[in-house]
Structure 1
Amino acid sequence: MQDESGQKQGHRIVLGVGGGIAAYKACHVVRDLKEAGDDVRVIPTESALKFVGAATFEALSGHPVSTTVFDAVDEVQHVRLGQEADLIVIAPATADLLARLAGGRADDLLTASVLVATCPVLIVPAMHTEMWFNPATRRNVEILRGYGYTVMEPAHGRLTGKDTGPGRLPEPEQIADLARTLAAGFTVPHSWAGLNVLISAGGTQEPIDPVRFIGNRSSGRQGFALAEIAAQRGASVTLVAGDTAQLPTPPGAKVIRVRSTGEMKEAMDDRAAGADVIIMAAAVADFRPQTAAATKMKKGSESAAGLTSIEMIENPDILAGLVQSRRDGELQRATTIVGFAAETGDERTSALEYAKAKLARKGCDLLMANDVSGDAVFGKLRNRGWLLSADGTVAEVRDGTKLDVAAQILAAVDAHRTRSLPN
């Protein structure tokens, strides 16, 4: 959509809703997209209306709701909606709906609109674990991905009844975030099946005593976004997470929780040998207290003296150690290693120049650098910066959500692997 000046004002998004218990979460997806300025038209299946009434979707979206091509026939709804949409999102998509879409059916307004559409299509399955792993469902998912649709990996968690496992609908904000990334023109091809990706995220905590620690302001959002995009590309993803402010688990990723730099190094080293891609997005502490008190240092007591002067020692350099392990043959030589540099410039040197020097010291293949001065990046929902390559090239990473930035970084990793791997 554009205003009178021709400026982009959100996107036209069709939200299809399948008939599963998770249909109620679609209401939150509508609200999230609407609050971001998108125009949302909800097309439920007949079964979906048994879980959430049409009046709810109409009130949230501001548009009438229909399930059949025989409503508003004079407008030829399925053609108009499909042609005008910038993006179609289907959440939840049941096993039956996946089968109908894979078969090219057009037996209701939603499936007919999908057949007309030339815009990106995001499908978010939700069903019991046995249905998700059923060979028929797996075949249908592969067919849909072959059509060029993005099929989001389901989350692992509580299902209906007492069941727990893969098949849970991802959180509404995760769906809305990925939808915005696709609507912005970024692609998430399912081309990394069979690859193992190891990612670190968040800050580390170095204990002073049982209560206090030395840390930093990293939220872990960028690392989690990288894990989510890598999983959507089909990779087997392990995410080693430090202090990450209770971020939701990226669908399809396995999360290992750590606290200190030492714990993160151990977790990364233990899993690095089998990785095809390693991304050190975590903001690890360079130093830690030489000793940590076994009990809380209380103000006014003799132990409080330890808080006024803390002797620090240097932490191991995880990124440099991984690069050295590859040189020593302990990792696959084809493993792509990506580092991060959160820099600030000064009167003599820019943040970018400091990042170039860091790339030279670390010896990794790619380095994502950003300028964090002025309260930028840490804890924010957006990011930007530069992607530096070992061959000396510098590419701009344009401003976007952290999922947008993750899509750009992993596209660069893909290009690097294509250039460097033998034919």
Structure 2
Amino acid sequence: MDATKMLQGKKILLGVSGSIAAYKAATLIRLLVKEGAIVKVVMTPAAADFITPLTLATLSKNEVPLHISDHNSWNNHVMLGRWADVMLIAPASANTIAKMALGLCDNLLLATYLSATCPVMFAPAMDEDMWHHPATRSNVEKLQSYGHQQIPIATGELASGLFGEGRMAEPEQMVAWLQRHFSQTAAPQPLHDKIVVVTAGPTIEHIDPVRYISNHSSGKMGIAVAEALADAGARVKLILGPTSRQTTHTGIETIRVQTAQEMFDQVMKIYPIANIVVAAAAVADYRPVNVAGKKIKKGEAQLHIDLEKTPDILRTLGDSKGPQQLLIGFSLETNNEKEYALKKLREKHLDMIVMNSLADAGAGFNYDTNKVTLFDRDGKESNFPLKSKQAVAQDIVSAIIELQHA
């Protein structure tokens, strides 16, 4: 079924807690209703300080209860918990996450959550220090142990004025997350039991115990592709370079590496049994010939470091690719994008290459969005507009599924 139709008639219960990100609930409701979903909303009293129940009731076309002592609210919260196909708590503040983890029940949202018989998702929103606090990390892990899905947070400007992790996912990303959730149960999984290797993130090449050569890759795109592949039924081995990003998807085994050599070794170990390899990592092309055992002290005006090539993972895989294996590469360029992408496609014997450009606004490293062009083994070109990286990952996986049946 088309992912854009996955929410038609689905009953979404949106829980809104007290966070500045509550204003995004209005956009989220509009998007869900546009997709054909039936939306009902419960709020915490603190959430009403950021956005009014009247606003969300008008957009959802359903009454929004606020206080547990309101007329009929006490009984209705049980019915709401049984009515929904999914309960999505967005934003989920640090306070609400903590109460959910402990099973506290001091407001209508929490009473409804404890009565919910449907899958539960939550989209955290808070300042970076709160997000990284051990108590919050423990509470999030506890919710995940209950089987709840955490929608990944974003990095950006926070309400405090700082820049870092803690931003709630954008409404478009949450809609895509819900679409993936329903697609898993609505249709047979096209990549069932396929073994897929995905490389993601940067690599680092040590200069001395303190310094290294690397790049700006965050791993967001590769992780999104890994999750989309797992949603399609694949058994994913994610070989992930040094990044703070991670995935909690149960269909993914994450193998952490640092250097290009370590990534090469891990890929080659799994490659003989892999059906598909998606090489999304930004692998360093060069590494220092000699790594200093101690920190290099400041001395001369110039420092010269001799570099040598790192193993070419894609070329090695392409040269030894079996007839039933698929190999997908990525090409991030700053100029002559199409020319370089097609050259890489041919020379490395790829079945598909994903091209994007740093010249495109909103694409490239560290953004939550991307704009890509796909070329298949015959050079057929497919262009896509700027989308969330989760939506881009869906496009890439759809193309991989087509290649499987070509």
- TM-score after normalising by structure 1: 0.63
- CA distance, structure 2, for counterparts of residue 413 and residue 161 of structure 1: 32
The residue that corresponds to 1:16 in the other structure is 13
Secondary structure, in 3 states, of the residue corresponding to 1:368?
A: strand
The residue that corresponds to 1:263 in the other structure is 262
- CA distance, structure 2, for counterparts of residue 352 and residue 365 of structure 1: 16
Conserved 8 A contact 1:54-1:65: no
**What is the one-letter code of the residue matched to 1:293?**
A
Pairing of 1:263-302 with structure 2 (within 5 A): 263-300=262-299
Secondary structure, in 3 states, of the residue corresponding to 2:273?
A: coil
Aligned pair partner of 1:381 in 368, 381, 399 = 368
The residue that corresponds to 1:361 in the other structure is 347
Conserved 8 A contact 2:239-2:263: yes
Percent sequence identity over aligned pairs:
28
Deviation at 1:248, TM superposition (A): 3.5
The residue that corresponds to 2:153 in the other structure is 173
- CA distance, structure 1, for counterparts of residue 238 and residue 229 of structure 2: 11
Deviation at 1:56, TM superposition (A): 3.5
**What is the one-letter code of the residue matched to 2:369?**
R
Deviation at 1:168, TM superposition (A): 4.8
Residue 341 (str. 1) matches residue 363 (str. 2):
no
The residue that corresponds to 2:405 in the other structure is 418
- CA distance, structure 1, for counterparts of residue 388 and residue 369 of structure 2: 4
Deviation at 1:34, TM superposition (A): 0.6
- CA distance, structure 2, for counterparts of residue 270 and residue 166 of structure 1: 34
1:88-128 per-residue CA deviation (whole Å, 9 max, x = no partner) reads xxxxxxxxxxxxxxxxxxx83465576xxxxxx7879x999
Pairing of 1:24-423 with structure 2 (within 5 A): 27=17, 31=21, 34=24, 37-39=27-29, 43-44=41-42, 54-63=44-53, 80-81=61-62, 108-109=79-80, 112=83, 165=145, 167-171=147-151, 173=153, 177=169, 180-181=172-173, 183=175, 188=180, 189-190=183-184, 191=189, 192-244=191-243, 246-252=244-250, 253-300=252-299, 308-327=303-322, 333-345=323-335, 350-373=336-359, 376-419=363-406
Identify if the C-alpha distance between structure 1 residues 182 and 277 changes in structure 2 by more than 3 Å, giving closer, same or farther.
Answer: farther
Deviation at 1:247, TM superposition (A): 1.4
**What is the one-letter code of the residue matched to 1:170?**
Q
- CA distance, structure 1, for counterparts of residue 246 and residue 51 of structure 2: 26
1:324-382 per-residue CA deviation (whole Å, 9 max, x = no partner) reads 2224xxxxx3222110011122xxxx211111111111111010011124785112221
- CA distance, structure 2, for counterparts of residue 382 and residue 210 of structure 1: 34
Deviation at 1:234, TM superposition (A): 2.8
Deviation at 1:218, TM superposition (A): 1.4
Secondary structure, in 3 states, of the residue corresponding to 1:273?
A: helix
Deviation at 1:403, TM superposition (A): 0.8
Could you tell me which runs of 5 or more consecutive residues in structure 1 were left unpaired when the two chains were aligned. 1-12, 18-22, 45-52, 67-71, 83-106, 115-120, 129-143, 328-332
- CA distance, structure 1, for counterparts of residue 208 and residue 258 of structure 2: 14
CA root-mean-square deviation: 4.3
Deviation at 1:398, TM superposition (A): 2.1
**What is the one-letter code of the residue matched to 1:359?**
L
Conserved 8 A contact 2:87-2:119: yes
Identify if the C-alpha distance between structure 1 residues 299 and 34 changes in structure 2 by more than 3 Å, giving closer, same or farther.
Answer: same
Conserved 8 A contact 1:195-1:276: yes
**What is the one-letter code of the residue matched to 1:341?**
S
1:246-290 per-residue CA deviation (whole Å, 9 max, x = no partner) reads 114242222211111000111111122232221000010111111
Deviation at 1:176, TM superposition (A): 6.6
Conserved 8 A contact 1:220-1:282: yes
- CA distance, structure 2, for counterparts of residue 325 and residue 411 of structure 1: 25
Identify if the C-alpha distance between structure 1 residues 410 and 176 changes in structure 2 by more than 3 Å, giving closer, same or farther.
Answer: farther
